[in-house]
Structures are given as C-alpha cells and as structure tokens.
Chain A
Amino acid sequence: MGLDDLYQEIILEHYKSPKNRGSLKEPDATAEGHNPFCGDEISLSLQLKDGHVHDIAFNGSGCAISQASASVMTEAVKGKSVAKVRELFDKFSQMIKNGEITDVDEMEELAAFQGVSEFPTRVKCAMLAWNALKDGLEKTGEEKDE
C-alpha cells in the first residue's frame, strides 16, 4: 500500500488549483455535504438544461482528497446527461470501494482516485462531493428513470 497511489499528481493539481470553485448565481439546486468525523465540507450548486448538467460549482474546505475530488468531479460531469452522471457515480463509487475500473478512458481524471480504495478511512473524503451531487440531482426532480 503506497501513499503515492493516494496522493497522485492530478490530485495535487486540482487541490492546488481547483476548477469550478464558487457558487452559481441561479442554481436549479444546491446541496451540502459534510463529513462529521473530520470536518470536511462541500457545498454544491448546479444548473441543468435539457437533461444535462449545464453548469456546476463547489465551495468547501477539508482534506486534499475531498477538495480535489470535488474539483475533478465538477469537470467530469459538466455537459453530461443526468443519466450519464448517475452512471459515473456508480462507477466512481465502485472504483473507490473496490479499486475496480472497467473503462479507464471513460473515467479520465477520475481514475486518479483509484488508490483511495487502499485507504478505507479516506473513502468518505473522496465520495463527499459525489454524495452531495446525488442529493442535488434528486432535488432538481431529475429522478432516476428506473
């Protein structure tokens, strides 16, 4: 189990220079996530258009993993359909929990978090923004089709 599997270069870049940081002026939904064990906090705002994530932004404070994960997530979901985002959620949480990736190309930068699976105490950090996103999507009324 190597620390370098966790603290990857891509994670460092997003931690130092997070993308989509801030809050949207007219969001369709906002959602909060916090991890009561370590105090990580995320607030998300998102805008949907034609069943797609039109825009998304986050604010927050916390460990490198939680903040970088939020940044990478916003990049990964922007412009994607809600159905696709839900699919990514499932794939990301699978990868975080089991270390499994089915399609590396599809995961793009998200794959940088594969090493989290070796650090059970950090799973919650990596999932924080994703769980907030799931809440946010539910608030917009874009329920699952199934």
Chain B
Amino acid sequence: MSVDTYTFDVETYRKQFPVFQAPENKDLVYLDNAATAQRPQSVLDAIETFHKEYNSNIHRSAYKLAEKATAGYECARLKIAQFIGAQSSNEIVFTRGATESINFVAYGWVQKHLQPGDEIAVTELEHHSNLIPWQMVAKKTGATLRFIPIADDGHLDYSALDAVITRDTKFVAVTQASNVLGTKVDVKRIIDAAHKVGALVLVDGCQHIPHSITDVTELDVDFYAFSGHKMLGPMGIGILYGKSKHLNDMDPILYGGSMINDVGYYESTWAEPPWKFEAGTQNIPAVIGLGAAIDFIEEIGYEAIDSHTDALAEYTLQELGNIEGVSIYGPRKNRIPVISFGLKSLHPHDLATFFDSKNVAIRSGHHCAKPLMNRLNVPATARASIYLYNTKNDIDRFIDVVHQAKGYFSKWV
C-alpha cells in the first residue's frame, strides 16, 4: 500500500502524545522508536491516577486502597496474558525489562538444567541482551554456544538450522525481529526445529511486539520476553512469559519479601509462579501504565498500526534507495520499520550529530549488536525507526536531511 493511498488518521493519535506538544519539541522528528517509544496521555494518566488516588502496596493489606492497587496490578497481568495469547495469567511474570526476563531464564532454568557437552543456540542477529546471558550461562554450565548465521540479504540462513540445532542442543534463544536490520525472524520454524530435538526456546519479542501481534500458544514458544517501554508503556517494566510447566521447574533469581509460601529460621518455601519470581515491592504504577499502553494499541489495532508504519517504511526505503552514496543494511521485505543505513564512508556518529542539528532524532552506533556489526563489516550504522505517530512529513524531513548531510560532508567522504 502506498503511503498516499491509505487512511490512517495519524494526527488524531499523534495529538495524544504530549512530548510532541511540548513547545521545545514542535519541530522534532522522532525516529528512534526502536530505542524507546513515546507515551500517550492515557498511559501517563493511568500512572498519575495510581499515585494520586490509590498508591499502596499490593497483596498484603486489608484495606480498600490496597485492594484497588492489587486489582489494578493483577488485572494488568490478565490483560497482558490475553494480549499475547497465554493460557493463564499465571504464566506472566513482571520484571524490570526484557533484559531481566532473559537473565531470569538463563539463571533460573538453563543453568539448572544444562551440563557440559550441551549446546545453546542463538542467532547472529541478537541484541547483547539476548547474547551475553547465554555466554555467561554457557561458561557456568560448560555448555557450548552456537550461532545460526545470517545470509547476505539480512535474513537468517535457515538452511543452516539442521547443522546448528542438533540433539546436543538443549536451549535456543532467538530474536523475533532485529533491532538493527529490521529483519523479521521465522521463529515458528526455529521453535519447531528446536522442539524436534527436545530443546526449549526463548523468543526476544522486544522489537516485534510494538508492530505485530504475537500468540505465544500458537507459536508454542517456551519463554517469551519483552519490555513495556518500546510499546508505549513506561520504562522499568518488562514481561517474562513462560509455559506453566517451565515456570514451575525454574528457580527464582531474587529472594526476599512477597515471593514466599512459608519462612522458617533456616528454610523457606516459595509461592507459586508467577509470584515466586516477583520478590520485593514491584513497579506497580509501571504495570498499570503498561496495561493502559496495551489498551491504546488494541483500540487502534495492530492491523492499522502495521499498515501505517509499513507504508512509511516502504516509502523511506524507496526514497533512501534513490540517494546515491546511501547504503541500506538489511532486507527489503519481511521486516519491521527499523532501517539501518550509512552515507558513503561517513561515520554514523557524524551523521547523527548532523541530524540532531536539524532536530531529527536518529540513532547511531553498534545498537548493542557488536557481533552483527562484525558480520556486516561496519563499525556502526545510522538507524531510523518508525512508529505509529510518525508522519509522511517526518519521513520527508528525514530524507531532506540525508540530502543536506550529503552536501555538508561532501568534502569529508
């Protein structure tokens, strides 16, 4: 669908994001959504209402305020369970973010079950957050880390699956979409291959879930991790989905208040999942804010969001591709609206400074994916990432700045 021929009332939604209304941001083009999305008023209101009207701790007090907080917290859990198609809200664990979710699985399940000679498989696309925990847990268990390579088009090389996922493979961790190349991964295919050899799979959904629906039951994925702040929710809240049987079989990482069943002088027993993973006072306002973010997304609908952001991404790729000297990294099809690019030999950091001087926020750097940078043979890339409140005008401004940068740095490259 061309960017000019569909109807998505972007202004109606954009108006609901106060950051764009702030006088100092009137001229801002925000294209760093893969790092963090902006928050709509409804999310800010939900957080503020908690603080102003029913701030209290959950699960432990017999008064109305605490009942309301507990209900808000647990209702959000149920909402998230339904949102990703979990069988039960007991399969949803609140964490500080996807990084913590992944570490919980690495230390709580994988370290407990793996032995020397076992293998953990990841892909060359991974963000450091879905790589370093596996490096560490491989060292601790004596397991070997193996990589599913990418092909030159930026998609995974699925022909290598049989060679990497073998009967020695006990665990597979894979991103659902690359935060650098935008590549969508056929995680179903990887999950099937892993299950065939008896391995469990964790999918990092951080970049995918802002853009497309995920049904964890349909995928048959064992663990699914994502963060709230990339999908309009607050920072400091993340989700770990785990199949009940795996959460039962997983050790807590944090011990302390709220996560217990019984406590003696020398021994204690844990609460059932998900509560056994939620030690200490939780980030209750952020949980409630994330619930409001899901309401916001569901009200618009993924289909509408997707049609808008995909059309903008398609337009961006087309316009960027027309500029001589611009390299685009990553696939043209089957991608999320995250676009990495370079301008001749200019370092992306210089490019990003130029963009900032024109009030266009893009990201430059290795995007916490150094092995992938190595595979692409570049030190860094510049990256523009699009979300539902971006407009065609944002993209036109962005493209115009690429042209200006090319002129400005003509002597430098």
- Report which A residues bind B (CB closer than 8 A): 1, 3, 6-7, 12, 15-16, 37-41, 61-65, 119, 121-122, 125
Instruction: Flag if B412 contacts A7 (CB, 8 Å).
Output: yes
Q: Separation in Å of the B319 CB from the closest CB of chain A?
A: 23
Min distance, Cβ B396 to any Cβ of chain A, angstroms: 21
A3 & B408 in contact (Cβ 8 Å cutoff): yes
Contacting A at CB under 8 A, from B344-360, are 346-350, 353-354, 356-357
CB distance B354 to A3 under 8 Å? yes
Does B379 sit within 8 A of A, measured CB to CB?
yes
Say yes or no: is B406 at the interface (Cβ < 8 Å to chain A).
no
Q: In the complex, which of the residues A1, A41, A64 contacts B357, with contact meaning CB atoms closer than 8 Å?
A: A1
Q: Which of these, B348, B350, B408, B412, contacts A16 with CB under 8 Å?
A: B412
Tell me the bound Cα distance from A3 to B409 in angstroms.
Answer: 11
Q: How far is the CA of A65 from the CA of B353 in the complex (A)?
A: 11
CB pair A3–B379 under 8 Å, yes or no, is: no
Query: Does the CB pair B354–A38 fall under 8 Å?
Result: no
The answer on a CB contact under 8 Å between B412 and A39 is no
A39 touches which of B350, B354, B366 (Cβ 8 Å): B366
Residue contacts A-B, CB under 8 angstroms, 17 given: A3-B354, A3-B357, A3-B408, A7-B408, A7-B412, A12-B411, A16-B411, A37-B365, A38-B349, A38-B365, A38-B366, A61-B379, A62-B349, A64-B350, A121-B353, A121-B356, A122-B353
User: Is B343 among interface residues, defined by CB-CB distance under 8 A?
Assistant: no
Evaluate contact between B347 and A64: CB separation under 8 angstroms. Answer: yes
Q: Does B187 contact A (CB under 8 A)?
A: no
CB distance from A61 to the nearest CB of B (A): 5
- From known contacts A7-B412, A16-B412, A63-B347, infer whether A38 and B353 are also in contact, taking CB-CB under 8 Å: no
How far apart are the CA atoms of A61 and B411 in the complex, in Å?
Answer: 18
Tell me whether A38 and B364 are in contact (CB under 8 A): yes
